[in-house]
Chain A
């Protein structure tokens, strides 16, 4: 047995070079479409440049120094925290509860059909082009003829709020839309995670007299930890990168209250013709994303190691 298992492995190890032609297209494509542009972006960030054929003036780290004093830049990253609340924290908590209720309560009381239909409904906003969903919400929240305010007017509210135009309300409104968009993703992931969990664990806990809350805390949460990490990681990256909803809902306004890093970099590239500055913003965003993703992955690895040690 042991010899038959190791012999082909040794033979294949010697011949991995033969597989290189299959790897080549992807390596070339990545070098051209991702690697080279990434390096060029870093290079551009060291210049003051209006783009196109305009002269490039070397400023070294000047753009980065300017960023430190740029209020809009700091606002955009502060707003990323709101985006993380709206796209990671709230959807993950709500998604966890919804998935648990659907899977081990409603699914058992009313059959898996009911649970599947509800799950599909929660997931629906994830399927729609986010720009298109954003435009629907833009109309719903519009101050003059949006659905919410027209409805409030019919109820007799004389001065309904300008949801997306009022600096105090714009961010909460954008966050609401993002929560709506995001919820389905953790629900779907967590429901499939729960299918992995041995039902005997629940039965044993219930025979011991544990209520729903106790079982949720003692079994559900620890069992679906890997998926929780994945959801946290992917959603955090998405929250840091968010562009389309901000573009269609508020364009960063009013008064920069909903500005996010990706939109700020876009603005500098294509609106203000400050290509070097936009490239510096994009570079900082990239570094922040890599740092946060690494931190989450590192934390996950440590937790897994500790658990293995405890067992």
Chain B
């Protein structure tokens, strides 16, 4: 009791020393300035996405739009056939999130709970697979996709990313599952549950929140991927959103407002996702960092 009170008094004293003086306002101002610098490119893009080309050349990048002009948006939307790219991105990222999480779970089940022999080495091997530069596998994958009739197919990208993302998922989940409460496993065994039943009705329900975080991660990572989709998806009707935007580069018809409108539309899904899952994402980043 008394030590608690001493602690509280100590904390109060500390707090009061922190809470006064002008320094804190200066520090806050600097931190806000950094935040503005981080937001500036996005804000300036937002500002210029709704200008006409003349408005931009006359009034410059920092003025407010003289009228709410949506032609840039329409130009980009039609030129890139945007709805198709959006569907492609959702289709690829969504399936990778589901398949990758499933593959991570069953593999981590064998490694973390099954304690398969040599698991440390197996996990290390998966980790190396995750670290490899994609250039070191792309050309063979490219020729393999051609050989099996999956050239220019979203399925080639889905399969590749399911494996690459699962490499991280396996690493994360096996360290989580290796600390899975033993009593639950034993109770399941006493009830006569086999390995599959144990996975499905004991492990899976308890792991659901972690699996959710993993799915969000796989989705956004795959959404942001550039290199492999750039190589594998060669035609207009299979491309993803980032590839579609970058393929407009050097297009002479693209004026500054159209580029900005395009970038805005391409950033929006990721941005919305970020706002919804901000907490989940932060938790996930840090969960993956140190086990």
Contact = CB atoms under 8 A, between A and B. Distances in A.
The B interface is mostly helix, strand or loop, or mixed, namely helix
B163 A29 contact: yes
A16 B267 contact: no
A54 interface: no
B260 A270 contact: no
B140 A36 contact: yes
Contacts of B122: 23
B263 A136 contact: yes
A203 B11 contact: yes
Most buried by A among B110, B129, B241: B110
A34 B166 CA distance: 12
A140 B61 CA distance: 9
Nearest to B127: A293
B179 interface: no
A275 B139 contact: yes
A106 B38 contact: no
Contacts of B271: 127-128
B32 A118 contact: yes
A178 to B, nearest CB: 13
Contacts of B266: 129, 132
Given A25-B106, A192-B286, A129 B267 contact: yes
B110 A227 contact: no
A40 B147 CA distance: 14
Contacts of B224: 128-131
A109 B227 contact: no
B289 interface: yes
Interface string A10-35: 00110010111011011001100110
A20 to B, nearest CB: 7
A109 B132 contact: no
Interface string A43-82: 0100000010000000000000000000000000000000
A33 B159 contact: yes
B259 interface: yes
A248 interface: yes
B159 A129 contact: no
A230 interface: yes
Interface residues of B, number: 99
B102 to A, nearest CB: 9
Interface string B214-235: 0000001001101100110000
A96 interface: no
Contacts of A20: 110, 116
A154 interface: yes
B61 A30 contact: no
Nearest to A139: B259
Interface stretch (A165-173, A283-291, A301-309): A283-291
Contact of A140 (B32, B41, B164): B41
B28 interface: yes
Listed residue (B37, B160, B245) with the most chain A CB atoms within 10 angstroms of its CB: B245
B86 interface: no
Given A29-B103, A183-B38, A19 B110 contact: yes
B56 interface: yes
A19 to B, nearest CB: 3
Nearest to A12: B115
A143 interface: no
The 5 A-B pairs with the shortest beta carbon distances in the complex, nearest first, are A19-B114, A37-B140, A40-B140, A192-B286, A147-B61
